[in-house]
Amino acid sequence: MTARENILNRVRSALGRKVSPQDTASIDARIAAHPLGMQPPRDWEPELRFRARAEALASTVEKVSSLQSVPGAVARYLVTHDLPTGGICWPSLRKLDWIGAGLGMEDRPARGDDFVGVTGCYCAIAETGTLMLLSGPDTPAAASLLPETHIAIVETARIVPFMEDAWALLRAERGRLPRAVNFVSGPSRTADIEQTVTMGAHGPYRVHIILVG
């Protein structure tokens, strides 16, 4: 007997059955239906809520009218905060005019010593002010993680009310999950020492969100 069989046998006997039923209709139906559990009341407008929650989580937020305005906004943010004007961006963003905005953005994998990482996001969640990022060849996960500053571009049309709406969107558009789904809610933080909240534990010290719409 393998460990797998032993464990499953013990589980089955604890549940009062000899073998797992061939017919797994009961759980398959539940999984297929994936019913909603419980959500808080939706008494807000998603974009306003997203913005308020993201700011409450110590992200900064600004809004521009089009994707073409993003490089300029990134440049302004970096200069205003006295940050290096070079870094990396997702390959999916390589076509933006970074040079025109005076920025050196490379579309290569992030390294441990990169200062700035610019990413998009799959969608954003209003309830908690959260970015949802999917890993992929053009959207590598490390770009939002290794650099000290993470700048994320969010199309306002892609702000959904709840995490469940993000799953629905993902099921409809992609069918299945990528290797990594990362929900990001503000800069990395820790409160391990005397429960004092400190930013920049292992991930970015700052998250700047540029809304486009």
Partner 1 sequence: MELRSNEFKTRAAANLGDEKLQRGLGLIKVKAVVNRANAVAEFGDFETLREVGKAIRDRALADLDLYLERFEREAVARGAVVHWAENASEACRIVVDIARENGVRTVAKAKSMVSEEVGLNDALIEAGIEPIETDLGEYILQINDAEPPSHIVMPVIHKTAEDVADLFHAKHGTPRKTDPAALTREAREILRPKFLSADMGVSGANFLIAETGSTLIVTNEGNGRLCTTLPRLHVAITGIEKVVATLEDASTLLRLLPRSATGQAITNYVSLHTGPKRLEESDGPQQFHIVLVDNGRSKLLAGEMREMLRCIRCGACMNHCPVYQAVGGHAYGWVYPGPMGNILTPSYVGLENAIALPNAATMCNQCGVVCPVKIPLPDLMRKLREEQMERGLKPWPERLGLALWGWAAQQPALYALGTRIAVRFMKWLGGREKLIHRLPLASGWSDGRDFPAPEGQTFRELYKERRQ
Q: Which residues, 170 to 199, sit near partner 1 by CB under 8 A?
A: 176-196, 198-199
Give whichever of 64 and 163 is closer to partner 1, judged by the CB atom: 163
| By CB under 8 A, residue 30 contacts partner 1 | yes
| By CB under 8 A, residue 115 contacts partner 1 | no
Give whichever of 178 and 213 is closer to partner 1, judged by the CB atom: 178
Q: Would you put residue 180 in left (φ > 0), alpha (ψ -120 to 50) or beta?
A: beta
Of the candidate residues 66, 80, 95, 112, the single one contacting partner 1 (CB under 8 A): 112
Q: Which residues of 168-198 are buried (b: 16+ CB within 10 A; e: fewer)?
A: eebeeeeeeeeeeebebbbbbbeeeeeeeee
Give whichever of 74 and 143 is closer to partner 1, judged by the CB atom: 143
Of 158, 107, 157, 108, the residue nearest 131 (C-alpha): 158
Question: What's the closest the beta carbon of residue 20 comes to partner 1, in angstroms?
Answer: 5
Q: Check: CB of residue 88 under 8 Å from CB of residue 119.
A: no
Q: State residue 109 phi and psi, 5-degree precision.
A: -60, 145
Of the candidate residues 106, 142, 156, 213, the single one contacting partner 1 (CB under 8 A): 142
Number of residues that bind partner 1 (CB under 8 A): 77
